[in-house]
Amino acid sequence: MTFIEPDEGILRITAFIGVLIVMIQLEYLIPRKARSLPRTERWITNTLLVVIDTVTLKLVMPVLAVAMATTTSDKGWGLLSLVSWPLWVEIILAIVVLDMCIYLQHWASHKVPILWRFHQVHHADRDIDVTTGLRFHPIEILFSMTYKLLLVVVLGPAAVAVILFEIILNASAMFNHSNVRLPLNIDNALRKIIVTPDMHRVHHSVIRSETDSNYGFFLSIWDRLYRTYIPQPRDGHDGMKIGLLEYQTNEPASITWSLLLPFKPKKASVQANVSDTQP
Protein backbone atom coordinates (compact mmCIF):
# COMPACT_ATOMS: atom_id res chain seq x y z
CA MET A 1 0.00 0.00 0.00
CA THR A 2 2.97 2.29 -0.27
CA PHE A 3 1.48 3.59 -3.54
CA ILE A 4 -0.83 5.70 -1.36
CA GLU A 5 2.00 7.73 0.15
CA PRO A 6 3.08 9.75 -2.95
CA ASP A 7 -0.54 10.80 -3.54
CA GLU A 8 -1.30 11.63 0.09
CA GLY A 9 -2.27 15.24 -0.57
CA ILE A 10 -4.59 14.38 -3.45
CA LEU A 11 -6.24 11.57 -1.49
CA ARG A 12 -6.84 13.72 1.57
CA ILE A 13 -8.26 16.72 -0.28
CA THR A 14 -10.42 14.46 -2.48
CA ALA A 15 -11.83 12.66 0.56
CA PHE A 16 -12.37 15.97 2.37
CA ILE A 17 -14.25 17.62 -0.49
CA GLY A 18 -16.19 14.46 -1.31
CA VAL A 19 -17.46 13.89 2.24
CA LEU A 20 -18.17 17.61 2.71
CA ILE A 21 -20.31 17.77 -0.45
CA VAL A 22 -22.19 14.56 0.38
CA MET A 23 -23.01 15.69 3.93
CA ILE A 24 -24.10 19.17 2.81
CA GLN A 25 -26.48 17.59 0.31
CA LEU A 26 -27.86 15.20 2.92
CA GLU A 27 -28.36 18.09 5.37
CA TYR A 28 -30.58 19.76 2.77
CA LEU A 29 -32.48 16.57 1.94
CA ILE A 30 -32.93 15.00 5.40
CA PRO A 31 -32.17 17.59 8.11
CA ARG A 32 -32.34 16.42 11.73
CA LYS A 33 -32.81 19.65 13.65
CA ALA A 34 -34.05 23.19 12.95
CA ARG A 35 -31.29 25.82 12.89
CA SER A 36 -30.94 28.63 15.42
CA LEU A 37 -28.93 30.91 13.12
CA PRO A 38 -28.70 31.44 9.35
CA ARG A 39 -26.01 29.38 7.61
CA THR A 40 -24.13 32.18 5.87
CA GLU A 41 -22.08 33.84 8.64
CA ARG A 42 -21.59 30.57 10.53
CA TRP A 43 -20.32 28.79 7.45
CA ILE A 44 -18.00 31.67 6.53
CA THR A 45 -16.55 31.70 10.05
CA ASN A 46 -16.15 27.91 10.26
CA THR A 47 -14.55 27.80 6.81
CA LEU A 48 -12.18 30.63 7.66
CA LEU A 49 -11.11 28.75 10.79
CA VAL A 50 -10.15 25.77 8.59
CA VAL A 51 -8.07 28.03 6.35
CA ILE A 52 -6.38 29.72 9.33
CA ASP A 53 -5.72 26.32 10.95
CA THR A 54 -4.12 24.97 7.77
CA VAL A 55 -1.90 28.02 7.27
CA THR A 56 -0.91 28.00 10.95
CA LEU A 57 0.19 24.37 10.76
CA LYS A 58 2.23 25.03 7.62
CA LEU A 59 3.95 28.03 9.18
CA VAL A 60 4.55 26.75 12.71
CA MET A 61 5.00 22.98 12.46
CA PRO A 62 8.03 21.92 10.38
CA VAL A 63 6.96 18.26 10.48
CA LEU A 64 3.41 16.87 10.37
CA ALA A 65 2.13 13.44 11.39
CA VAL A 66 2.66 11.60 8.08
CA ALA A 67 6.21 12.94 7.65
CA MET A 68 6.96 11.95 11.24
CA ALA A 69 5.63 8.44 10.55
CA THR A 70 8.00 8.14 7.59
CA THR A 71 10.92 9.22 9.79
CA THR A 72 10.05 6.79 12.59
CA SER A 73 9.71 3.92 10.11
CA ASP A 74 13.07 4.72 8.51
CA LYS A 75 14.80 4.90 11.90
CA GLY A 76 13.01 1.94 13.47
CA TRP A 77 11.44 3.97 16.27
CA GLY A 78 8.26 3.12 18.12
CA LEU A 79 6.58 0.05 19.60
CA LEU A 80 5.43 -1.37 16.27
CA SER A 81 9.02 -1.52 15.06
CA LEU A 82 9.61 -4.22 17.68
CA VAL A 83 7.28 -6.69 15.95
CA SER A 84 7.07 -8.10 12.44
CA TRP A 85 3.38 -8.23 11.66
CA PRO A 86 1.71 -8.03 8.23
CA LEU A 87 1.12 -4.47 7.11
CA TRP A 88 -2.67 -4.83 7.20
CA VAL A 89 -2.52 -5.92 10.86
CA GLU A 90 -0.28 -2.99 11.71
CA ILE A 91 -2.64 -0.58 9.92
CA ILE A 92 -5.73 -1.82 11.79
CA LEU A 93 -3.94 -1.79 15.14
CA ALA A 94 -2.53 1.69 14.54
CA ILE A 95 -5.94 3.09 13.58
CA VAL A 96 -7.61 1.59 16.67
CA VAL A 97 -4.90 2.77 19.07
CA LEU A 98 -4.73 6.26 17.53
CA ASP A 99 -8.52 6.57 17.70
CA MET A 100 -8.47 5.66 21.40
CA CYS A 101 -5.78 8.28 21.99
CA ILE A 102 -7.87 10.92 20.21
CA TYR A 103 -10.78 9.99 22.49
CA LEU A 104 -8.52 10.57 25.51
CA GLN A 105 -7.31 13.87 24.08
CA HIS A 106 -10.91 14.99 23.61
CA TRP A 107 -11.75 14.01 27.18
CA ALA A 108 -8.74 16.01 28.41
CA SER A 109 -9.86 19.02 26.36
CA HIS A 110 -12.93 19.18 28.59
CA LYS A 111 -11.20 18.49 31.90
CA VAL A 112 -8.00 20.58 31.69
CA PRO A 113 -8.87 24.30 32.04
CA ILE A 114 -6.25 25.63 29.60
CA LEU A 115 -7.29 23.09 26.96
CA TRP A 116 -10.97 23.88 27.51
CA ARG A 117 -10.32 27.58 26.89
CA PHE A 118 -9.47 26.76 23.28
CA HIS A 119 -11.80 23.79 22.81
CA GLN A 120 -14.82 25.90 23.82
CA VAL A 121 -14.55 27.67 20.46
CA HIS A 122 -15.71 24.39 18.90
CA HIS A 123 -18.58 24.03 21.37
CA ALA A 124 -19.72 27.65 21.13
CA ASP A 125 -21.28 27.00 17.71
CA ARG A 126 -25.02 27.37 18.31
CA ASP A 127 -25.92 24.97 15.53
CA ILE A 128 -24.28 21.67 14.76
CA ASP A 129 -23.72 20.68 11.15
CA VAL A 130 -20.93 19.43 8.91
CA THR A 131 -18.99 22.70 9.25
CA THR A 132 -18.93 22.37 13.06
CA GLY A 133 -16.66 19.37 12.54
CA LEU A 134 -14.13 21.78 11.02
CA ARG A 135 -14.48 24.54 13.63
CA PHE A 136 -11.40 24.53 15.88
CA HIS A 137 -9.20 27.32 17.21
CA PRO A 138 -5.74 27.33 15.52
CA ILE A 139 -3.94 27.01 18.86
CA GLU A 140 -5.99 23.90 19.65
CA ILE A 141 -4.96 22.53 16.24
CA LEU A 142 -1.29 23.11 17.18
CA PHE A 143 -1.84 21.28 20.49
CA SER A 144 -3.52 18.44 18.61
CA MET A 145 -0.76 18.07 16.03
CA THR A 146 1.94 18.10 18.71
CA TYR A 147 0.05 15.34 20.51
CA LYS A 148 -0.23 13.32 17.28
CA LEU A 149 3.49 13.67 16.61
CA LEU A 150 4.26 12.28 20.08
CA LEU A 151 1.86 9.39 19.48
CA VAL A 152 3.51 8.58 16.15
CA VAL A 153 6.98 8.58 17.73
CA VAL A 154 5.86 6.26 20.56
CA LEU A 155 3.74 3.93 18.41
CA GLY A 156 5.87 3.94 15.24
CA PRO A 157 3.08 3.18 12.72
CA ALA A 158 3.67 2.95 8.96
CA ALA A 159 3.08 6.21 7.11
CA VAL A 160 0.17 4.65 5.19
CA ALA A 161 -1.57 3.88 8.50
CA VAL A 162 -1.30 7.53 9.56
CA ILE A 163 -2.59 8.71 6.17
CA LEU A 164 -5.62 6.42 6.40
CA PHE A 165 -6.25 7.42 10.01
CA GLU A 166 -6.15 11.14 9.18
CA ILE A 167 -8.62 10.60 6.33
CA ILE A 168 -10.93 8.51 8.55
CA LEU A 169 -10.73 11.01 11.43
CA ASN A 170 -11.52 13.98 9.21
CA ALA A 171 -14.37 12.19 7.44
CA SER A 172 -15.79 10.98 10.76
CA ALA A 173 -15.75 14.49 12.23
CA MET A 174 -17.76 15.81 9.27
CA PHE A 175 -20.15 12.84 9.34
CA ASN A 176 -20.91 12.78 13.06
CA HIS A 177 -21.29 16.57 13.30
CA SER A 178 -23.69 16.65 10.35
CA ASN A 179 -27.30 17.73 10.75
CA VAL A 180 -28.59 14.56 9.10
CA ARG A 181 -31.58 12.46 10.13
CA LEU A 182 -30.67 8.78 9.86
CA PRO A 183 -33.45 6.18 10.16
CA LEU A 184 -33.52 4.93 13.76
CA ASN A 185 -32.70 1.33 12.86
CA ILE A 186 -29.69 2.42 10.78
CA ASP A 187 -28.48 4.74 13.55
CA ASN A 188 -28.81 1.98 16.14
CA ALA A 189 -26.87 -0.46 13.97
CA LEU A 190 -24.11 2.00 13.05
CA ARG A 191 -23.50 3.31 16.58
CA LYS A 192 -22.59 -0.17 17.73
CA ILE A 193 -19.37 0.40 15.76
CA ILE A 194 -18.97 4.06 14.83
CA VAL A 195 -20.11 7.43 16.18
CA THR A 196 -23.29 8.62 14.47
CA PRO A 197 -24.65 12.17 14.16
CA ASP A 198 -27.36 11.53 16.78
CA MET A 199 -24.80 10.06 19.18
CA HIS A 200 -22.36 12.95 18.87
CA ARG A 201 -25.05 15.64 18.90
CA VAL A 202 -25.62 14.80 22.59
CA HIS A 203 -22.05 15.97 23.23
CA HIS A 204 -22.95 19.46 21.96
CA SER A 205 -25.81 19.93 24.41
CA VAL A 206 -25.69 22.90 26.78
CA ILE A 207 -26.33 20.50 29.68
CA ARG A 208 -22.99 19.73 31.31
CA SER A 209 -23.61 16.03 31.98
CA GLU A 210 -24.36 15.64 28.27
CA THR A 211 -21.43 17.80 27.15
CA ASP A 212 -19.23 15.53 29.29
CA SER A 213 -20.26 12.45 27.31
CA ASN A 214 -19.84 10.85 23.87
CA TYR A 215 -16.27 12.02 23.28
CA GLY A 216 -15.57 9.54 20.48
CA PHE A 217 -14.89 10.68 16.92
CA PHE A 218 -14.71 7.42 14.94
CA LEU A 219 -15.19 4.22 16.97
CA SER A 220 -18.01 4.26 19.52
CA ILE A 221 -16.48 1.60 21.77
CA TRP A 222 -14.42 4.05 23.83
CA ASP A 223 -17.43 5.86 25.30
CA ARG A 224 -18.93 2.55 26.36
CA LEU A 225 -15.64 1.23 27.67
CA TYR A 226 -14.89 4.38 29.71
CA ARG A 227 -18.54 4.86 30.73
CA THR A 228 -19.03 8.24 29.07
CA TYR A 229 -21.84 7.08 26.78
CA ILE A 230 -25.27 8.74 26.79
CA PRO A 231 -27.59 7.34 24.11
CA GLN A 232 -30.01 10.27 23.77
CA PRO A 233 -30.30 13.90 24.99
CA ARG A 234 -32.57 14.61 27.94
CA ASP A 235 -34.76 17.01 25.94
CA GLY A 236 -34.76 15.02 22.71
CA HIS A 237 -32.93 16.03 19.55
CA ASP A 238 -35.64 18.48 18.48
CA GLY A 239 -35.87 20.12 21.91
CA MET A 240 -32.21 20.15 22.97
CA LYS A 241 -30.24 23.40 22.96
CA ILE A 242 -26.87 23.41 21.19
CA GLY A 243 -23.74 25.38 22.16
CA LEU A 244 -22.70 26.98 25.45
CA LEU A 245 -25.27 28.59 27.74
CA GLU A 246 -22.96 31.57 28.30
CA TYR A 247 -22.97 32.39 24.60
CA GLN A 248 -26.52 31.94 23.31
CA THR A 249 -26.15 34.99 21.05
CA ASN A 250 -25.02 35.65 17.49
CA GLU A 251 -21.42 36.21 18.66
CA PRO A 252 -20.12 32.65 18.05
CA ALA A 253 -20.87 33.12 14.33
CA SER A 254 -18.21 35.86 14.16
CA ILE A 255 -14.64 34.94 13.14
CA THR A 256 -13.09 37.69 15.28
CA TRP A 257 -15.08 36.67 18.35
CA SER A 258 -14.20 33.01 17.84
CA LEU A 259 -10.47 33.70 17.58
CA LEU A 260 -10.45 35.96 20.66
CA LEU A 261 -12.73 33.85 22.88
CA PRO A 262 -9.94 31.86 24.64
CA PHE A 263 -8.22 35.09 25.70
CA LYS A 264 -11.28 36.76 27.20
CA PRO A 265 -12.00 36.67 30.96
CA LYS A 266 -13.97 33.59 31.87
CA LYS A 267 -17.67 34.36 31.75
CA ALA A 268 -19.80 33.28 34.69
CA SER A 269 -21.59 30.01 34.07
CA VAL A 270 -25.31 30.07 33.46
CA GLN A 271 -27.36 27.33 35.04
CA ALA A 272 -29.04 24.75 32.79
CA ASN A 273 -30.71 23.26 35.85
CA VAL A 274 -29.84 22.73 39.49
CA SER A 275 -27.03 20.24 38.80
CA ASP A 276 -25.97 20.91 35.21
CA THR A 277 -23.85 23.94 34.35
CA GLN A 278 -21.34 24.42 31.57
CA PRO A 279 -17.67 24.55 32.74
List the pLDDT tens digit at each of the 279 positions of the chain. Answer: 554 555 677 888 999 999 999 999 999 999 999 999 999 999 999 999 999 999 999 888 766 888 888 888 888 889 998 888 999 999 999 999 999 999 999 999 999 999 999 999 999 999 999 999 999 999 999 999 999 999 999 999 999 999 999 999 999 999 999 999 999 999 999 999 999 999 999 999 999 999 999 999 999 999 999 999 999 999 999 999 999 999 999 999 999 999 999 999 877 655 444 344 443
φ, ψ at 277 (rounded to 5°): -130, 150
Instruction: Provide the β-strand partners of residue 75.
Output: none
Which pLDDT score, from 0 to 100, does residue 185 have?
A: 97
Which pLDDT score, from 0 to 100, does residue 261 have?
A: 97
SS3 (DSSP) at 16? helix
pLDDT in tens, 169-194: 999 999 999 999 999 999 999 999 99
Which pLDDT score, from 0 to 100, does residue 71 have?
A: 87
- The share of the chain scoring above pLDDT 90, in percent, equals 80
Half-sphere exposure of 69 (CA within 13 A, CB side): 26
Query: Taking the domains of the chain in order of start, what are their residue ranges?
Result: 38-243
Which pLDDT score, from 0 to 100, does residue 20 have?
A: 96
Which pLDDT score, from 0 to 100, does residue 4 have?
A: 56
Which among 273, 192, 197, 268 has a CA at the least distance from the CA of 234? 273
Which pLDDT score, from 0 to 100, does residue 75 have?
A: 84
Single-letter residue type at 75: K
